[in-house]
């Protein structure tokens, strides 16, 4: 695909102006396509979140997102501003981590704990956000009332006020196929479905992008950009086995 060809995601933009770092038919490409398809659906059906002007009330909390969504956000930041831009958000995230360490050390300890292998039912405590903490903190990507990663915003932000009810606009609950595709993007499906623990968005930047893990995360980003879902899932399965056996 030429850089001047339309991007695989369906946005209508040229590849060089859109997802130039992502190979077609990869796991990350699938997530991009699902995001564009969802946005097109809500635009065509005129079911966008009817937010009050300059409202960012839903942008304050430590939102839990999947690792796949984090990697898409990281891809966008790297294309937009490289390591310097990524570092600026790491610094913001570290401020939140320090705040939690001082005010809610048990919550931070729970986040730092490693999720063992097990069934979805056995692991359900790792897949909720029922933590005791200050939910008034704005997302690290909210700047001057605007989302700086809006194009790559995670599922929880994309569906709020559309599929899920916002208490301010009181929209009806809706569910449709394009939402299902967003949910599928959070999983990994190869020889087996792999459940990966979600984390608060800031935590990926404060913990997983610290020096000792940075190169490993960037390797994951490179692979999810270039491997099919099946290939990437099996890579992750083997990596997980090494961690458990190490």
Q: What are phi and psi of 126, to 5 degrees?
A: -85, -5
Place of tokens 């099946």: 230
Segments of the chain scoring below 50 in pLDDT: none
pLDDT attached to residue 180: 95
pLDDT attached to residue 87: 97
Closest CA to 131 of 156, 149, 105: 105
Chain centroid to Cα 246, Å, comes to 28
Q: What is the pLDDT of residues 139-198, one digit of tens each?
A: 999 999 999 999 999 999 999 999 999 999 999 999 999 999 999 999 888 777 888 899
pLDDT attached to residue 244: 67
pLDDT attached to residue 79: 95
- What string of H, E and C letters represents the secondary structure of the chain? CCCCCECCCCCCCEHHHCCCCCCCCCHHHHHHHHHHHHHHHHHHCCCCCCCCCCCCHHHECCCEECHHHHHHHHHHHHHHHHHHHHHHHHHHHHHHHHHHHHHCHHHHHHHHCCCCCCCCCCCHHHHCCCCCCCCCCECCCEECCEECCHHHCCHHHHHECCCECCCCCCCCCCCCHHHHHHHHHCCEECCCEECCCCEEHHHHHHHHCCHHHHHHHHHHHHHHHHCCHHHHHHHHHHHHHHHHHC
Q: What is the pTM of this model?
A: 0.94
């Amino acid at each position: 695909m030429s850089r001047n060809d339309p991007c695989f995601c369906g946005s209508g933009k040229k590849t060089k102006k859109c997802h130039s770092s992502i190979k077609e038919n990869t796991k990350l490409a699938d997530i991009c396509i699902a995001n564009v398809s969802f946005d097109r659906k809500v635009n065509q059906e005129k079911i966008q979140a009817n937010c009050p002007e300059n409202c960012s009330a839903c942008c304050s909390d430590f939102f839990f997102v999947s690792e796949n969504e984090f990697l898409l956000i990281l891809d966008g930041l790297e294309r937009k501003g490289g390591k310097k831009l990524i570092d600026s958000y790491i610094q913001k995230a570290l401020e939140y981590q320090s705040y939690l360490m001082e005010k809610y050390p048990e919550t931070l300890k729970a986040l730092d704990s490693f999720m063992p292998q097990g069934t979805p039912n056995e692991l359900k405590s790792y897949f909720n956000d029922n933590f005791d903490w200050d939910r008034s903190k704005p997302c690290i990507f909210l700047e001057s009332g605007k989302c700086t990663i809006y194009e790559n915003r995670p599922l929880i932000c994309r569906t709020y006020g559309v599929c899920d009810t916002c208490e301010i606009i009181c929209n009806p609950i809706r569910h449709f196929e394009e939402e299902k595709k967003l949910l599928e993007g959070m999983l990994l499906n190869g020889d087996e479905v792999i459940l990966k623990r979600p984390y608060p968005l800031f935590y990926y930047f404060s913990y997983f992008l610290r020096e000792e893990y940075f190169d490993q995360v960037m390797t994951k980003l490179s692979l999810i950009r270039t491997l099919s879902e099946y290939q990437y899932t099996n890579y992750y399965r083997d990596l997980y086995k090494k961690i458990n056996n190490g």
